[in-house]
Structures are given as C-alpha cells and as structure tokens.
C-alpha cells in the first residue's frame, strides 16, 4: 500500500517527525541504487551508502512513526524484507524511495538534512565523535568561566556552560549570590537534581561526628564521588557559600589526561585498570551501598568513557589470585600520577563561585583547612549527563 510522508509546508522539506533541526547546506547531486542499497553523492564529493532495510525502518510516514508521539511504530520484524524499487530526488531535493516486498509497495520520503545528519559512512561517524579537550596544570589557566547571570538568563550563557562541561569536563561559575541552596537553582536550570544517600544536596563543612571524610577538615586526596554506586552521578556542582578559613583550596585533575598518559607510558597498567573491577562500598547506620567497576572505563572502540577512583570508599579486591599483585601495582602507578602536581588545577573558591565537573572524568580533592581560623561552607549536588545533552539538543532546535 502506498502512503506518502507528510511535507513540512513551511520549509518545503519532508517532515521527518523528528524535532532536531536538520539544516544542511549540502545538496544531493546523484542517486543510484540496487535492490539492497542506495548510494547518494553529495555536492562536496562525499558519498552516503544506506541499506534498504535501514531506510525502510526509518520511514517517517504516519503509518510507520506516530505523528504526535514522534516514536517508531513500524516493527521491522513483522514485515518481509523490503527491496528498493525506485529512488529519485523530489523538487525540493528530498529523497523519494519506493520499497517493494511480498507485502506490496511502500513509499517513503526523507529530507536532505536528515539524511546528511544520519549518514553512517566511516568519515561521517568519525566526525561525529565528540573529543574531550584534555587539560593539565599548564592548560588550567584557560579554565572556562561563565557568569551566573548569563547562565541563568541567556541561552548563550547556558550553552557556554554546558559545552564547557562536555568538552573540558569542568567549568567555573562566578558572581552568584552566595546563598545556601543557590546551587539547586543553578542545577535545575539543566534538569532535576540527582539525589543520593546524602540527600538532594549536602553541606561540606566540618562536623563533630562525620559519616564521610568530606565532613572533616582533613585533606582529601583526588577522587571521584560515590564510586560505590553502580552508576555514580554524572556531574557534581560544588558551590561556595563561604570560604575564609586558612587552607581548603580545591584541587582538580583531568582523569582522562592522566589515563591517556598512562596508556602511552605504561600500557600494561592501563590494560589491567581497564579490565579488572575494583570494589567500592559505603556503609553507615542507614545504608550499605556497594558496587564494582574498572578504574578506567572504555567504550567499544577503546576510547575513554570513565574514571573511577576513591581510596576511602575502595573495598576489598575480588579478582583472580594471579591478578592481585599486578592490579595493586597498576593502581599504585595511576595513583602516583594523580599526585603529580603537573596535572593539578588548584583553585580557592570564593563565596558565590561554583565549580561543576564530570564525576566520570575529573577527580577532585582539597587541601586541609583550619576551622579555627574562619568558616568554610561549600554545598554540593549532582545532575545527569542525559539532562545536559537534552538541554544542548533542545537549544540546537532553535538556533
Ligand atoms: Fe568528593
């Protein structure tokens, strides 16, 4: 049965039932196909190859995709394999494809911008990879800084903050009112606050009976937070309400920089840290939360995905006997590097300043401080990567 995809009357292009803005200056200049594949030639000389089954699966017509929910309703498993019968360009450059199968025929149309955005050639996929901007002490003078009012009131301020977080893994905010709870307002501009066993947010002050090292005045070595959770929070916001005690500077290091250097200089340790899990555990009177994960997390292509390191939450190693000694050695090598000041960004937060950083990449710590010399009151909370990316994608639709 033939069914035409709806056209977006305003732009004259195909409505892909996809809210992302599919703008492109590129044009398709040639279309060729076999029953199983379609080959597009773009005006910059590039090619896109699409499989018939992929195109059929992504048909945006209202019988294949719900026009209000914008979700897929087509179930490829319930249909015989479709072959490409015809393929041609329409008047506004859109691609029209007619599929044929034992069920009959089906017409689909695809917008140029959508096809360009979803091209899965090797070159296109390589270009789509977001590469972190690695940093060390030398690069830390370029630390991205965003003004509170810009962030709260403008798209460009919010975007600058979100993009810095994604690229650098860290961003400093200045000039916020130094009020308790202000960090929640800042976090909620991105999305819901991620609560943990410490609540929706926590105060970092020295306490008489601390249940965590953060609540003392002692030095804290570099670490990632909540390593004992199966999925630790993605981003930490650390807001300074007051800081006039002697000491207490914040120390940060780009775990991806350290890990990449380890991969280059000591591949054996890198391999062990990416293959074998380390156990972590937090327990107090109300909870007992435990998880294990490799120190260095990699994606399927070997790119860095996460760093997890926290010595006071580290529990008992549970690995094959012949791995125990090599893994301790590899952990020590990584830890030694973390202590190397050439990786350290040291910053003494002032009242009304806030650091945000990736808890899967940037390790944080602090110098000890002397609570008898003044007050040090920081507040912390967490937000999620999905909300960060959602805000960026939503802004991309409008700009
Ligand atoms: Fe921490």
Report residues of the chain scoring pLDDT below 50: 1-12
Per-residue model confidence as pLDDT tens digits over 227-275: 999 999 999 999 999 988 888 899 999 999 999 999 999 999 999 999 9
In a domain, 131, yes or no: no
The C-alpha atoms of residue 356 and residue 172 are separated, in whole angstroms, by 6
**16 and 61 share one domain:** yes
**297 and 374 share one domain:** yes
**173 and 237 share one domain:** yes
Per-residue model confidence as pLDDT tens digits over 171-183: 999 999 999 999 9
**67 and 207 share one domain:** no
Out of 125, 154, 176, pick the residue that ends a domain: 125
**156 and 265 share one domain:** yes
CA of 323 to the centre of ligand 1 (A): 29
- Looking up residue 384, the CATH number of its domain turns out to be 3.60.130.10
**26 and 160 share one domain:** no
The C-alpha atoms of residue 305 and residue 300 are separated, in whole angstroms, by 10
Beta strand residue intervals within 212-315, DSSP E = 220-223, 235-243, 246-247, 250-254, 277-283, 288-294, 296-298, 304-307
C-beta separation of 166 from 388 below 8 A? yes
The C-alpha atoms of residue 6 and residue 4 are separated, in whole angstroms, by 6
The C-alpha atoms of residue 111 and residue 23 are separated, in whole angstroms, by 10
In a domain, 202, yes or no: yes
**149 and 63 share one domain:** no
CA of 198 to the centre of ligand 1 (A): 12
- Enter the pTM of the model: 0.90
Per-residue model confidence (pLDDT) at position 7: 41
C-beta separation of 35 from 83 below 8 A? yes
CA of 255 to the centre of ligand 1 (A): 14
The C-alpha atoms of residue 195 and residue 44 are separated, in whole angstroms, by 48
Per-residue model confidence (pLDDT) at position 2: 39
CA of 265 to the centre of ligand 1 (A): 28
CA of 277 to the centre of ligand 1 (A): 21
CA of 215 to the centre of ligand 1 (A): 10
CA of 211 to the centre of ligand 1 (A): 13
**169 and 246 share one domain:** yes
CA of 327 to the centre of ligand 1 (A): 24
**197 and 57 share one domain:** no
C-beta separation of 140 from 345 below 8 A? yes
**27 and 158 share one domain:** no
CA distances from 369 to 42, 378, 379 (A): 61, 13, 16
**Angle, vertex CA 274, rays to CA 269 and CA 277, nearest 5:** 110
CA of 231 to the centre of ligand 1 (A): 15
H or E segment to which residue 378 belongs:
strand 376-383
214 DSSP 8-state letter: G
Out of 100, 125, 150, pick the residue that ends a domain: 125
Per-residue model confidence (pLDDT) at position 399: 59
Per-residue model confidence (pLDDT) at position 8: 41
Q: Which domain holds residue 254?
A: 138-398
CA of 166 to the centre of ligand 1 (A): 20
How many domains does the structure of the chain reveal?
Answer: 2
In a domain, 39, yes or no: yes
CA of 347 to the centre of ligand 1 (A): 15
In a domain, 2, yes or no: no
**88 and 144 share one domain:** no
CA of 214 to the centre of ligand 1 (A): 7
**163 and 26 share one domain:** no
Per-residue model confidence (pLDDT) at position 141: 83
H or E segment to which residue 369 belongs:
strand 369-370
Phi, psi of 95, rounded to the nearest 5 degrees: -100, 125
C-beta separation of 184 from 200 below 8 A? yes
Task: Identify the CA nearest to 149 among candidates 179, 184, 186.
Answer: 186
CA of 50 to the centre of ligand 1 (A): 47
Out of 91, 125, 159, pick the residue that ends a domain: 125
CA of 163 to the centre of ligand 1 (A): 23
In a domain, 133, yes or no: no
C-beta separation of 239 from 186 below 8 A? yes
């Amino acid at each position: 049965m033939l069914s035409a995809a709806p056209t977006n009357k305003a732009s004259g292009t195909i409505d892909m039932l996809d809210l992302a803005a599919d703008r492109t200056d590129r044009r398709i200049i040639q279309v060729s196909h076999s029953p199983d594949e379609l080959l597009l030639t773009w005006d910059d000389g590039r090619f896109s190859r699409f499989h018939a089954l992929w195109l059929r699966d992504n048909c945006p017509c209202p019988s294949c995709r719900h026009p209000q929910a914008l979700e897929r309703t087509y179930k490829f498993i319930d249909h015989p394999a479709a072959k490409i019968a015809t393929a041609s360009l329409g008047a506004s450059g859109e691609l029209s494809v007619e599929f044929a199968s034992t069920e009959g025929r089906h017409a689909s149309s695809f917008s140029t911008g959508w096809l360009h955005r979803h091209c899965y050639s090797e070159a296109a996929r390589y270009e789509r990879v977001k590469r972190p901007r690695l940093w060390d002490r030398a690069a830390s003078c370029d630390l991205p800084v965003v003004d509170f009012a810009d962030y709260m009131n403008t798209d460009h301020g919010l975007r600058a903050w979100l993009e810095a977080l994604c690229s650098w893994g860290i961003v400093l905010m200045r000039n916020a009112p130094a009020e308790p709870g202000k960090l929640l307002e800042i976090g909620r501009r991105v999305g819901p606050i991620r609560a943990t066993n410490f609540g929706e947010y926590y105060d970092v002050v020295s306490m008489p009976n601390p249940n965590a090292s953060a609540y003392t005045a002692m030095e804290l070595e570099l670490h990632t937070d909540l390593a004992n959770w199966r999925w630790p929070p993605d981003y930490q916001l650390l807001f300074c309400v007051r800081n006039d005690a002697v000491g207490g500077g914040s120390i940060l290091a780009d775990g991806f920089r350290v890990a990449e250097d380890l991969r280059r200089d000591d591949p054996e340790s890198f391999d062990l840290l990416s293959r074998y899990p380390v156990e972590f555990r937090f327990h107090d009177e109300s909870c007992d939360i435990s998880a294990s994960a490799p120190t260095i997390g990699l994606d399927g292509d070997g790119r860095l995905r996460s760093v997890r390191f926290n010595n006071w939450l580290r529990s008992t190693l549970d690995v094959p006997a012949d791995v125990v000694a090599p893994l301790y050695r590899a952990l020590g090598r990584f830890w030694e590097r973390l202590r190397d000041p050439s990786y350290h960004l040291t910053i003494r937060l002032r009242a009304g300043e806030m650091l945000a950083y990736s808890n899967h990449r940037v390790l944080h710590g602090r110098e000890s401080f002397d609570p008898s010399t003044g007050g040090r009151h920081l507040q912390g909370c967490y937000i999620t990567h999905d909300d960060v990316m959602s805000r960026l994608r939503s802004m991309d639709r409008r700009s």
